[in-house]
Structure 1
Amino acid sequence: MSLLRSPPRDMSESQPDLSRLSDDTYINFNQRKRKLPDCHCNIQENLIGFRNEIMDIMKSSLETHTRELKNSFDALRNDLSDFKQEMRVLTQRVSELSDEQTQIKKDICELKYSDTLQSRMIEGIDKQAAELRTSVMELSEQLQVKEQQGRINNIEITGVPVLKGENLMTTLNNIAAKIGFSLQPYDIDYIHRVRRYAHKSNPVGGNSDAHVSPSTPNIIVRFNQRSRKNEMIAVVRARRGLTTVDAGLNGPSTPIFVNDHLTPQNKLLYKQARLTAKDKGYKYIWLSDCKILLRKNDTSKVLLISSESDLLKIK
């Protein structure tokens, strides 16, 4: 059987003869090419629209989260106000009972009741007073916990002198840049100095606007998220050795400290714990989420100090 073969192809046919194209064909070809930019514009418009939708969703989520945080903070503040009111009422009641107890003892002595009756009455009153004192102490501890929870998102910066016309946000940004912490504008809820009694001290570095003393108001920074606050404190502890120069302030270089924002009671407790731990030879003492923690050495267990009675754990 013979195989049919096609005649050899002329190599010259591999190149199209443009002269054979009609004018209409050339015009149609150019028209098809000009349609491409319209498609490209549609893709760009879709991408821009998609990006705007994503930005709207992110903005809405951030606003919702901010509202929830503000509502939680307002609710916590209301709870604190209720607890303080209950404390005042109970304190007044304890004072009244103490006065009644004194008066009753006096009446008993004057009327010369029998020793048995006098003893029973005094015991009953003393028991009631002790129960009320216990209730006041428990409510005080609960109030202390609530107050500390209200500061859980805060950091406290000490050692920054007061400057006339100062910008605390700029100071915070300088500190963050120095320690390598990426601080975002939406991280911060508010920043201010703690109100204290007015106290003038000697000027530092010849600047009459700067004052550094034990009574210099500290800077309080409230973060919108506790995790971001904890991240900054961790970076500060790893960096160590912050000074006023790092914060972009003129004058002599003095230390700056960044820590959790403790209540006055917990600050005193932290000081007592440090002194006791030092006397007992403890190697580590630190704050974590406003909690006071100790460890004697690398292998010992961690101790939590939440009240003065817990200081007895330090042995």
Structure 2
Amino acid sequence: MNCSACKKYLDTKECMKCRLCTSKFHIQCLNIDKKQFLTLNKEYKATWICPACSSVTRRARSNDNTPVRQSTSMAPASDSMNMSCDLDDPGTTSPTGVLSSPRATFNKEEITLERISILLDEKLSASLSAFMESFRMALRDDVKEMVKNEIGSTMDAIKEEFSATTDFICAEQKSLQSDITKTATKIKSLEDENTKLQVEINRLNTRLATIEKISRSCNIELQAATERRNENVVALFKNLCEAVKASVDDSHISACRRVAKQNTASNRPRNIIVTFSSPRVRDLVLSATHRYNKSHSGRGLLSSDLGITGDACKIYVNEHLSPELKSLHAATRKVARDHNYKYVWIKYSQIYVRKDDSSGALLVNNTESLSKIN
């Protein structure tokens, strides 16, 4: 809380409060020293009226008691604080010990503080009401104008910012639309190019498959033949030819070797590839092996037939297929087992399946063909 005179911070322990307007003042602003303040009793403090309120009914008095310091010297307590005018004769002492004003010539029985308060209320009520009404109207108009100006300036600023933002968004949208159009054109061009490349890849794959088929047309592949240290794979193949009664001269054998595993995690031995001088010799060996397996049903060609010691295991003699055909062959065997097909075989690098002896053969060219197996 601040002093109503100097507008500085007010210590409520050392201040005076007006009974009418409830304003509070520093005792120093009222020219009252601390010693004089301590001599005042509670009744006097409770009925004290500030100089501003007392001047309303005491126009003829001096204006020494305004809420500002007039001089460094302290005014007597009787002139600065006594607003009661309670004594019969001027210059007499009031019951509180403070001198009364010399102009207090009214009868004590007729004029009291309560009576003065009532008179002041009556005097001030009309003028105060009119003043407050005009004050409210002026304040309302000022606030309305202030709010209008503030809102107007704020709306103008918002409008400018919004216009700048919308202009920026429009520019960005046009740029984005242009980029989208260019990107769409580029994507269409890439799609067309991709279609052409896909056609070219399919053509090349077909050509590569044909080349691989031709390159392997003179080869056979021996699978599951147990590996031995310092083995002679040519001798193993000759033992196979003797077992299946296939007459093959040494001049017809171009190469005979083991090849690396396609699946390095497999425990099966490496396959043996035998290359012949012509596809006719290859077909001769395959036909002889097929007749041998058919005549030894339930047994087939075993490792012991090739002179391999140890536990006998079945030996498979097939055409030398490319890795893609091997994967397709494995997938075909799995689908055939799931659908109870009896036969799966390879002839001239073509995969065939047949459900039973009475059904026809079905050619499997690719993974899409597996859907025909049902």
> Which TM bucket (shorter chain)?
0.5 to 0.7
The residue that corresponds to 2:274 in the other structure is 221
Name 1:102's counterpart in structure 2. Answer: none
Q: 1:110 to 1:184 in 2, by over 3 A?
A: farther
Q: Which residue of 1 aligns with 2:217?
A: 152
Relative contact order higher in (CA < 8 Å, ≥ 6 apart): 1
Q: Which one of 314, 318, 321 corresponds to residue 255 of structure 1?
A: 314
How far 1:187 moved relative to its partner?
Answer: 2.4
| Aligned counterparts of 2:301 and 2:280: Cα–Cα separation in 1 | 22
- Equivalent residues of 1:155, 1:261 under 8 A apart: yes
Letter in 2 for 1:238: R
Deviations 1:66-88 (A, max 9, x none): xxxxxxxxxxxxxxxxxxxxxxx
Unaligned segments of structure 2, at least 5 residues = 1-173, 294-299
Question: Counterpart amino acid of 1:313?
Answer: K
Q: CA deviation at 1:167?
A: 1.2
Question: Number of aligned pairs?
Answer: 196
Change (3 A) 1:110 1:280: farther
**Which residue matches 1:142?**
207
Q: Secondary structure at the match of 2:217?
A: coil
Superposed, 1:164-203 pairs within 5 Å as 164-196=229-261
Q: What are the within-5 Å matches in structure 2 for residues 101-116 of structure 1?
A: 111-113=176-178
- In 1, the alpha carbon distance for the partners of 2:339 and 2:325 equals 20
The 8 Å contact of residues 261 and 271 in structure 2, kept in 1 or not, is answered as no
Task: Give how far 1:188 is off.
Answer: 1.4
Aligned CA distance change for structure 1 residues 238 and 128 (closer, same or farther; 3 Å): same
Determine the structure 1 residue equivalent to 2:136.
none
Equivalent residues of 2:343, 2:353 under 8 A apart:
yes
State the 1:257 CA deviation.
1.0
In the TM superposition, what is the alpha-carbon distance from 1:281 to its structure 2 partner? Answer: 3.2
In the TM superposition, what are the counterparts of 1:20-169 in structure 2 within 5 Å? 111-113=176-178, 118-169=183-234
Call closer, same or farther: CA 1:255–1:161 in 2, change over 3 Å: same
Q: CA separation of 1:115/1:295 partners in 2, compared to 1, >3 Å: closer, same or farther?
A: same
DSSP 3-state at the match of 2:305 = coil
CA distance in 2, matches of 1:282, 1:254: 25
In structure 2, the partner of 1:237 is: 290
What are the superposed Cα offsets for residues 117-166 of structure 1, whole Å, 9 maximum, x if unpaired? 54343222222123212322321232122112100111000112222221
Matching residue's letter, 1:218 = N
Contact map agreement 2:343 2:354 (CA 8 A) in 1? yes
Instruction: Indicate how the Cα distance of structure 1 residues 110 and 164 shifts in structure 2: closer, same or farther if over 3 A, else same.
Output: farther
Cα 1:298–1:255 change in 2 (3 A) is closer
Residue 196 of structure 1 and its aligned partner are, at CA, apart by: 4.4
* CA distance in 2: counterparts of 1:121 and 1:296, whole angstroms: 51
Residues 284 and 133 (structure 1 numbering): CA distance in 2 closer, same or farther, change over 3 Å?
A: same
SS at match of 2:363: strand
TM-score normalised by length of structure 1: 0.55
Q: Which runs of 5+ in 1 are unaligned?
A: 1-108, 202-211
Once superposed, which parts of structure 1, at least 4 consecutive aligned residues long, lie more than 6 Å away?
A: none
Superimposed CA distance per residue, residues 188-240 of structure 1 (whole angstroms, 9 cap, x where no aligned partner): 121111134897x9xxxxxxxxxx932x3211011222222112212212222
Matched with 1:41 is none
Change (3 A) 1:298 1:245: closer
- Give the partner amino acid of 2:282: K
Cα displacement (A) at 1:115: 5.2
Computing the radius of gyration from Cα coordinates, the structure with the larger value is 2
CA contact (8 A) 1:153 1:223 kept: yes
Are 1:230 and 1:289, in contact at CA under 8 Å, matched by a contact in 2? no
Q: Secondary structure at the match of 1:304?
A: strand
Is residue 372 of structure 2 the alignment partner of residue 313 of structure 1? yes
Asked if residue 246 in structure 1 is aligned to residue 299 in structure 2, the reply is: no
Distance (Å, rounded) in 2 between the aligned partners of 1:266 and 1:295: 18
Q: CA deviation at 1:274?
A: 1.4
Residue 70 of structure 2 corresponds to none
Measure, in 2, the Cα distance between the counterparts of 1:183 and 1:148.
Answer: 23
Change (3 A) 1:198 1:122: closer
- Between the aligned partners of 1:255 and 1:110, the Cα distance in structure 2 is 72
- Does the CA-based 8 Å contact 1:156-1:218 persist in structure 2? yes
